[in-house]
């Protein structure tokens, strides 16, 4: 009886009276606890002429459970793969090692 598939619950999406909040982001910052993960989306609005500092305007914060974060990660990965199959491989910037990455974040770049 445990192997029987249960019908999936239907979802109804409703917008708030003012509509769905929209923003643009080209910068992402993350923080977490054992219970959830917070993602802060921002936009780089200025870079000092000597390139010693970039100014990021923080636009939106989303906090979610770790399970939701895993689902979003899987969803994004599947969609990027489908996009690349249709449009060709996305290439990371050649100067990616010069990106500012917080010490608490370990970035893994796979060689292709």
Please give the structure tokens belonging to residue 87.
Answer: 């449009």
Q: Where are the alpha helices (DSSP H) in 10-107?
A: 66-87
Please give the structure tokens belonging to residue 62.
Answer: 């989303």
Separation in Å, CA 91 to CA 50, 83, 88, 98: 27, 13, 9, 16
Interval 89-103: pLDDT, tens = 998 877 666 565 556
Interval 62-90: pLDDT, tens = 999 999 999 999 999 999 999 999 999 99
Task: Reply yes or no on whether the pLDDT at 41 is more than 70.
Answer: yes
What angle is formed at CA 36 by the lines to CA 30 and CA 37, rounded to 5 degrees?
15
Residue 37: strand, helix, or coil: strand
Domain borders along the chain are 27-90
């Amino acid at each position: 009886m445990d192997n029987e598939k249960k019908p999936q619950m239907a979802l109804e999406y409703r917008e708030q009276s003012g509509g769905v909040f929209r923003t643009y982001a080209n910068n992402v910052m993350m923080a977490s606890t054992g219970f959830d993960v917070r993602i802060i989306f921002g936009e780089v609005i200025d870079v000092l002429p000597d390139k010693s500092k970039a100014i990021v305007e923080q636009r939106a914060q989303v906090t979610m459970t770790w399970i939701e974060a895993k689902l979003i990660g899987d969803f994004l990965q599947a969609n990027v793969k489908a996009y690349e199959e249709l449009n060709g491989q996305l290439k990371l910037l050649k100067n990616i090692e010069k990106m500012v990455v917080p010490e608490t974040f370990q970035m893994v770049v796979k060689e292709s």
